[in-house]
Structure 1
């Protein structure tokens, strides 16, 4: 019999759902009025799936993502945001999700591994052992099929590699939850 060590799973799958989401801001032209930027939007995203959020310019795609991610501080938000069926706090959303901007901004002089390690050590809690932070970096490299380029300099990377790195930076920041 071959003794194969069981690899500890670091990332916890999360289903995010939003129900009847409204986002209202004051009308800049009339202080007595307000403008509904989101009107009763509902949807969900399951782990391991890709969701296409499509619409014309000004349709509210970025507003929806910002509201779900807790990035909107002005205005009034109504409706439910759920993580694995439970009401989500801003802190829970930040700890269990990542927000990747459209522009991939990375230090071109770093390696892929260094960029992920920087994110893990900067953004995971001080209570998380360094060994677990390194484990999360290695898990990201495996998940994103970046092991073969892990120690290459980022400068000159393809668009696909840059997008994977952007996703990895968010994954590496995820807190470790012991099983």
Structure 2
């Protein structure tokens, strides 16, 4: 009976130890476990889809696709807008980003990952930062983290 209890305690300790080890390595193993390529694997991928004005999909070949958030600016939401005006402006910005991507050579620089594990990138078309372009055109606002603006209020719908 004592031998059986000792064995159960040993197996439990080993199991807990393994889980703690995995939790500690989670940030390094997370992308591989979830099936998302790590940030350095995003080299050589191509923009395949524009979700909205500041989020794109990168096609990395062989079925590997990465969602990437463009850094340095914010645009209205199209997935869960706060008002009709935000949806309309978001669709306009999304279309503009698609048009920009079609105008020249597309390149990006990896800036890390965000709290949602999305890849963060700076996107350039023909050498120009698309975020800076969208800001200049009045379609986006600068964004460096923190609280986002209320697009409905900014667009006069609030």
Give the TM-score band, short-chain normalised: under 0.3
TM-score by length of 2: 0.23
More strand by share: 2
TM-score by length of 1: 0.21
More helix by share: 2
